[in-house]
A = this chain, B = another copy of it.
Amino acid sequence: MSKPTPLSGFPELLPAQRFAELAMIETLARTFELHGFVNLETRAVEPLDQLLSKGETSKEVYVLKRLQDEGDGDAGMGLHFDLTVPFARYVLENAGKLEFPFRRYQIQKVWRGERPQQGRFREFTQADIDVVGQGELPFHHDVEVARVMAEALARLPIPRATLQVNNRKVLEGFYLALGLADPEAVMRVVDKLDKVPAEKLVEMLHEEAGVGAEDAAKVLALAEISAPDRSFIDHVRALGADHPLLDEGLDELGSVIDGCAEVEGVDVVVDLRIARGLDYYTGTVFETRLTGYERLGSICSGGRYDRLASDGRTTYPGVGISLGLSRLVVPLVADGFGADRSVPSAVLVALVAEDSRGASDAIANALRANDVPCEVAATAQKFGKQIRYAERRGIPYVLFPGTDGAAHQVKDIRSGDQVDVDPATWTPPSADLTPTVSHSTEESNK
C-alpha cells in the first residue's frame, strides 16, 4: 500500500485532538445525565422510505448496497443523516417499553451523501438531547432543554457561546396581528436575514409573501429585537400588534429566558430573527453562535415539534436541541485545540535493563492500582533518551526504579524536580492524572 491520503469530508483526528473531543463528549454526557437524560444508540441505517418521508429530497443520503447482492430481497436502506429521524422511529418502535416523558441524549455519527467536490462534511458527530411525551408534553420541558444545553455549552472548553432563543408563536402571532395571509412564507424570508440585505428582504417579502412596504417594516423591526432578559416583551408591545398567539408566544419565550438566567459561562438571549423557516418547529426555536467562529453559523439548533412521531393513533410531541460536535471540533482543532499529551499516561516507568522489565512492570502495576495511567519504556535506552521519549508524548513524570535497594525516584520533567517515592502510595497531583485540554483562541467561557 502506498501512503493513503485523507478522504475529503471524512475528518479524522490525531490522538491529542481526539482526546480533546472525547473530553467534550464526556462533559456533554455528564451534564445530560445530571439532568436525567439517558443515553441511547440507534443503528446507523434506516429504511430509505423513512429517510425520504419528510419530502426532503434535497437531503443527500448514502444508500447501502451489498457487494454481493444477488437481488435477494435486501430492502433499500440508507445511512441516517441526523439523529431525529432514527429517534422518532425508535420511540414508535419501543413506545410500550419506554416511560414518558422520555429524556434521551444521543452522541453519534451521521452521514450526508454530499458531492466530494463540495468540501462539506460527509461524516460528522452530533450530540442531541430531546424530551418526548406521549400524547402531550408540558411547556416546561422547553425551558428544561434550553437550560440543559446552556449548561453543557458553558462547561465545554470552547470559546463563549451565545444561545439564541425565539418562539415561532411570537412571529406567527405578530404576522397574524398584521393580517398577513401566509405567516409561513414570511418566516422563510425572515430566516434569510443574516444573508440578505434589508432592502432585498423587503422586496422578497413582497414577492414571496405578498407583504406591503409598511408591514414589511414592522416585520423587520420585530426581527431586530433581541435582549438577554424579559425586556424584549416591552419592545414587541411597542410595535403595537395584538393577537392571542402572540401573547402565548411572548409568555413562553419569557419563561425560557427566565429559566436560563442563572446559567453562567454562556450568553442566553432572545433573538427574534431566529425563525428556522424550513423546519417543522411549532414553538420554541434555538440557534447558537460561537464567539470568534461566527462563520460557522449555528453550531447548536433545535426547538419544539408537536409531532415528532405518530403511529396514527398516538402523537409524540418533542422538544430538543442538537449540537454539531464535529462542526465545532474540526475548526477548533485547526486553531490548535487539543490535549497536552498524545497518550493517557501520566507516568513513564523507566527501564534499567531489558532483563529488569519485570521490576518496571511491577511498579507500573502498583501505580495502576491507584488509578494512575502509566506505561513502561519500550526499550532500555539511556535515561536521557527515555526522558525524551516521555517529553515527545507529553508524559509529565518519569519514574526511575531503584536498583540494589536504592529508593525509586520520580522526576517531574517540566520542573526537573526529582524525589524519592514509594509506587504503592505515590500518585501525581490530580491535575496531572489526565491530559489538559485547551484551545489557543483568545476568548474563553471560563
Using a CB–CB cutoff of 8 Å, the interface residues on chain A facing chain B are: 1-7, 10-15, 18-19, 21-22, 33-45, 47-48, 50, 53, 60-69, 72-75, 77-79, 88-90, 92-95, 97-99, 101, 103-104, 109, 111, 113-117, 123, 138, 140, 259, 262, 309-312, 342-345, 357, 361, 365, 368, 371-375, 378-379, 392-393
Measured between alpha carbons, how far is A61 from B66 in the docked complex, in Å? 6
Instruction: Show 27 A/B contacts (Cβ-Cβ < 8 Å), sorted by A.
Output: A1-B89, A1-B311, A3-B311, A5-B93, A11-B43, A12-B41, A12-B43, A12-B90, A13-B40, A13-B41, A14-B97, A18-B39, A33-B373, A34-B368, A34-B372, A36-B345, A36-B375, A38-B342, A38-B343, A60-B67, A62-B64, A62-B67, A63-B66, A68-B113, A73-B117, A99-B343, A262-B365
Query: In the complex, what residues of B have CB within 8 A of residue A262's CB?
Result: 365
Distance in Å: Cβ of A56 to nearest Cβ of chain B: 11
Q: How many copies does the complex hold?
A: 2
Asked whether A65 and B62 contact (CB < 8 A) given A1-B310, A92-B1, A378-B101, the answer is yes
Since A33-B373, A138-B378 are in contact, a sample of 4 more A-B pairs with Cβ atoms closer than 8 Å, ordered by chain A residue number, is A1-B53, A1-B309, A18-B38, A63-B64
- Beta-carbon nearest neighbor of A113 in chain B: B66
Measured between alpha carbons, how far is A113 from B78 in the docked complex, in Å? 13
Asked whether A123 and B2 contact (CB < 8 A) given A68-B60, A373-B34, the answer is no
Asked whether A15 and B43 contact (CB < 8 A) given A1-B50, A392-B99, the answer is no
Query: In the complex, what residues of B have CB within 8 A of residue A344's CB?
Result: 33-34, 36-38
Contact B72 A117 (CB under 8 A): yes
- Beta-carbon nearest neighbor of A61 in chain B: B67
Query: In the complex, what residues of B have CB within 8 A of residue A69's CB?
Result: 113
Query: In the complex, what residues of B have CB within 8 A of residue A111's CB?
Result: 44
Measured between alpha carbons, how far is A436 from B99 in the docked complex, in Å? 19
Measured between alpha carbons, how far is A73 from B95 in the docked complex, in Å? 43
Contact B123 A45 (CB under 8 A): yes
Distance in Å: Cβ of A76 to nearest Cβ of chain B: 10
Contact B116 A74 (CB under 8 A): yes
Asked whether A116 and B73 contact (CB < 8 A) given A38-B19, A92-B1, A92-B3, the answer is yes
Query: In the complex, what residues of B have CB within 8 A of residue A73's CB?
Result: 116-117
Distance in Å: Cβ of A46 to nearest Cβ of chain B: 9
Contact B10 A45 (CB under 8 A): yes
- Beta-carbon nearest neighbor of A76 in chain B: B67
Contact A18 B45 (CB under 8 A): no
Measured between alpha carbons, how far is A90 from B13 in the docked complex, in Å? 10
| The 4 A-B residue pairs with the shortest CB-CB distance in the complex, in nearest-first order | A36-B375, A66-B113, A33-B344, A10-B43
Asked whether A343 and B19 contact (CB < 8 A) given A6-B93, A42-B12, A65-B65, the answer is no
- Beta-carbon nearest neighbor of A105 in chain B: B344
Query: In the complex, what residues of B have CB within 8 A of residue A97's CB?
Result: 14
Measured between alpha carbons, how far is A99 from B344 in the docked complex, in Å? 13
Contact A4 B89 (CB under 8 A): yes
Measured between alpha carbons, how far is A109 from B262 in the docked complex, in Å? 39
